[in-house]
Amino acid sequence: MPKSFSELEKSHPCFGSHGATTGRIHLPVCPGCNIACRFCERSINTTENRPGVTAHVLKPEEAAEIVGKAIQISPEIKVAGIAGPGDTLASDNAFKTFNLIGQQYPQLIKCMSTNGLLLNERADEVIAAGIDSLTVTVNAVDPEIEAQLNDYIIWHGKKIDGVEGAKILIENQLAGIRKIAEAGITVKVNTVLVPRINGAHISEIAAAVAEAGAEKYNIIPLIPSAKLKDEPAPNCAEIEAARRAAGEYIELFLHCNHCRADAAGVPGKSDISRQLYAKIGPGSYGENFSHG
């Protein structure tokens, strides 16, 4: 059985609004992605502190070894998460990793993030993997708006761009959230706030994902990059307005950091990622680091 939301509040550092007292480790085992977000720029480096960035891409077996080292260095770690740097459902790497972790460290909470394109068809695998918390990034529920944020999807080997691709993505996101929520898994939805594009659309997103079964909603301010590098980041007033709009429909998640795909330690208090990866060569796992 997945951990209840009340259990996550006590043990998961990202769900405890009182401040993190436990730690997490993000395992960067998923390099490939199947959608092309216009603001996304994945990278292998040790300097940037944002999603989509890692110093290394690991094989599932390497990730399981890293978990053991992390617990030795930081016994406060209670969560093993997979959040990229690509999409967790675009390959089998996340499931292979969680299977190994489940055998060796069954006490750990397991959480993962996805863009949701394959969530509807892979929901049973997510449930079988024993995931306790799932985050789905939903940036619009109107295909016309989504098409301004995402150039295309790779859907069963076919590149589908524009509104047609956006429509498929949104349908699969909402249907997948519904299946996961019905299985008792806590679902959190992230939305990247780009005021000019989806700023007036937040209430519709929040209402739709809440109706599908999501319990928490997190608004992530745009970090201008990639094709949206010239788009201004939202200011405090715009973020607050978006939160007020969403809060009418769903409980807000207000203490998120822009974590790297290889973050490890107690958020805001300790970072042990460099200790863990010091002896691993950069970019050690040569799997496709691109879309598709």
Instruction: Write out pLDDT tens, residues 80-90.
Output: 999 888 999 99
E-assigned strands of the chain?
23-26, 35-37, 43-44, 53-54, 77-82, 109-114, 133-137, 150-155, 158-161, 186-193, 216-221, 251-252, 264-265
Where is average pLDDT lowest: 39-53, 59-73, 147-161, 182-196?
39-53
User: Which tens digits make up the pLDDT trace of 247-273?
Assistant: 999 999 876 666 676 777 777 677 777
Q: CA 210 to CA 192: how far, in whole Å?
A: 17
Q: What SS3 class is residue 93?
A: helix
Average pLDDT, the chain: 87
Q: Distance (Å, rounded) from C-alpha 3 to C-alpha 107?
A: 11
Q: How confident is the model at residue 181 (pLDDT cuts 50, 70, 90)?
A: very high
pLDDT band with cut points at 50, 70 and 90 for residue 22: confident
Measured from the Cβ of residue 132, the count of other Cβ atoms closer than 10 Å reads 23
The predicted pLDDT at position 191 comes to: 97
* Main-chain dihedrals φ then ψ at residue 108, nearest 5 degrees: -75, 140
- Measured CA to CA in angstroms, residue 279 lies from 55, 95, 275, 282 at distances of 12, 25, 8, 9
pTM here is 0.89
Whether residue 115 has pLDDT greater than 50: yes
Mind listing the pLDDT tens digit for each residue in 223-244?
999 999 999 999 999 999 999 9
CA atoms within 13 A on the CB side of 152: 10
C-alpha 266/C-alpha 258 separation (Å) is 14
CA 145/CA 261 separation, integer angstroms = 27
What pLDDT does residue 287 have?
47
Which residue has tokens 């972790």?
101
Q: Which of 66-70, 190-194, 288-292 has the lowest mean pLDDT?
A: 288-292
* Residue of 161, 179, 59, 63 lying closest to 118 (CA atoms): 179
Between 245 and 292, whose confidence is greater? 245
Q: What backbone torsions phi and psi does residue 240 show, to the nearest 5 degrees? A: -65, -40
The number of CA neighbours under 13 Å toward the Cβ of 10 is: 5
Q: Is the confidence at residue 285, as pLDDT, over 50?
A: no
Angle between helices 93-104 and 60-73 in degrees, nearest 10: 40
Return the higher-pLDDT residue of 109 and 274.
Answer: 109
Residue 187: band (very low, low, confident or very high) from pLDDT cuts 50, 70, 90 = very high
Instruction: Band the pLDDT of 180: cuts 50, 70, 90.
Output: very high
Task: Look at residue 35 in the predicted model and tell me its pLDDT.
Answer: 96
47 Rama class: left (phi>0) / alpha (psi -120 to 50) / beta: alpha
pLDDT for the residue 284: 47
pLDDT at 48 exceeding the cut of 60: no
